[in-house]
Homo-oligomer: A and B are copies of this chain.
Amino acid sequence: MDEQQILAFAQQFDPQPFHLSDAAAKNTLFGGLAASGWHTAAITMRLLVTSGVLLQGGIIGSGGELSWPMPTRASDILHVESEVLEITPSRSRPDRGMVKLRSETRNQHGDIVQLFVAKLVVSRRTQ
């Protein structure tokens, strides 16, 4: 992450003062420039896709529970730790299933900046 990326994402998708200027962010809840939570979410997705979470058919989310306990800052280096919580075959579609995946996005200090418990739709080998 760097300041340039935070500003570029915010200009395009979340143009609020605390995502656009460190000076303007000083007197807000964030106390300084913070990345949009959706930027953290998008980077988390890139890390999941490129770091080799392998699911048959790709990583297709139908939704989930999202939280941002702390903001992502310009100097942060993010990584993601994921855990499969549940695998449920579909009742109506024998070729599909649902995977519940918990992904923690942490910064270099180990702080969780995003927690996403996702429901993913996966292909299932039919026998």
Chain A interface (Cβ < 8 Å from any Cβ of B): 9, 12-18, 28-30, 36-38, 41-43, 45-46, 49-50, 57-69, 115, 121, 123
Contacts and interface: CB of A to CB of B under 8 A. Distances in A.
Contact of A14 (B12, B49, B66, B67): B49
A16 B58 contact: yes
B29 A42 contact: no
Copies per complex of this chain: 2
A69 B30 CA distance: 32
A61 B68 contact: yes
A60 B29 contact: yes
Contacts of A46: 12-15
B28 A38 contact: no
A104 to B, nearest CB: 13
Given A13-B42, A64-B67, A66-B66, 17 more contacts: A9-B42, A12-B46, A14-B45, A14-B46, A15-B49, A16-B59, A17-B58, A18-B60, A28-B57, A29-B121, A36-B42, A37-B61, A38-B38, A62-B68, A62-B69, A63-B65, A63-B115
